[in-house]
Structure 1
């Protein structure tokens, strides 16, 4: 009978919470006990390519279910699950935007004047959907590239203060910023600007747009967006190699840049856990110019 192995799915468990101790902050004895646990048989490597950004997650695989039992209990809290759902949604939209848009595309904010101000969130959603249809129609008539977009609606209605605040953020490949502003048609103070990538692509902008969702749907994306490229390997990193990274016995930059040719490392997080043994390594890289 084939031997069974166990690991934690980073989509279902909050690795930032489970592996919450920075390696340099942990006690050396605890590190030795954690890293040398014989039940850690190997490490899984998950690689996510989104446009010019590459992320690497390295996390342990055990030969016994008991190694994951305490970590699994951290998932039971309803609030913890909500936090994880939000983190996953942020990761998903950041990767979608990085995979589909470039500095030739636009990020826009559209608001309303008093005459056009929607009364409800549903009405605001209908308005932005009509706007999307106008953009699509114009793009088709003028031989633009097929329209791609991600948008968010922020809606605040404080009846006690008599205040209603609504605006939309959109990332799109629509080719003409002036036409886009004209097609909005709801007044307001609007702002259309070129995307500008940094070492993390467009993550900062996407996180800003994902803030404070107030329980409403966080984003809507066109169906023609390509997915980030995700690969999984159980052979890239041995336990010995991970331990050497955690103890700073190797140059982590050199290790990952040799493994992923054409990319430059921009960030690394090395963590251990009070819930389980082994280590978690998260690396972010950008494509070399």
Structure 2
């Protein structure tokens, strides 16, 4: 079933928070909150770096965001229905209030229904952050001389139609974004940008390794795709994903979602299987009938 809403959410660290502290807090404190709330179906966390990007550039198209628009993380969250979104919004107050502790910007791009879809995927659909695949999130900013309809047609029937033929691409997932509208309100955090600094699409592209990426960049598939990018985009910003971690997979909370990424990592390294048993994990999860409508201190 197609999800009603997919949110792709670039995150920028709060001023004064080091990159190390940002990742430590996001991946070990904050991310244990969203999977516990009703309504949200899947959550994928992308730790990203523009400095580590291996994505090819295209002449005349911006390849790096302005310093004020840089970001360090990109969660992706899915909601099967808009009623599920409403249930999540009603229950997730403590998550929203937590953003101010480590975020300066949280820009929530929305893909409606089939506007977020996976073209093909031969990778683990619920990665745990341990694979060595080469992943990039390719954010596209539309040329203002190109209409929204023309841009979307090009993404699907021009760019994707070319990329899908590449034997090197293991995963190809695309999102067509609506103009920004604040969906999940985080008080004190910037949540919107002027239209000329927004993205209108993002394509997730995964290959096996750097050699596979080199073969892809040298291929006719990429040369054909690149030739059309200049006329349709003013920016192609593609951070490399240094880790991709699932915290909720189609309604099921993962070990990282329950315990945080660092604890999940050490449990995995030590092969501590007893820590993954349901009778242990349930000790860390709220009761299904927890009433979150009234704060404890109220």
Q: TM-score range by the shorter chain?
A: 0.3 to 0.5
Could you say which structure has the larger radius of gyration? 1
After TM superposition, the score normalised by the length of structure 1 is 0.33
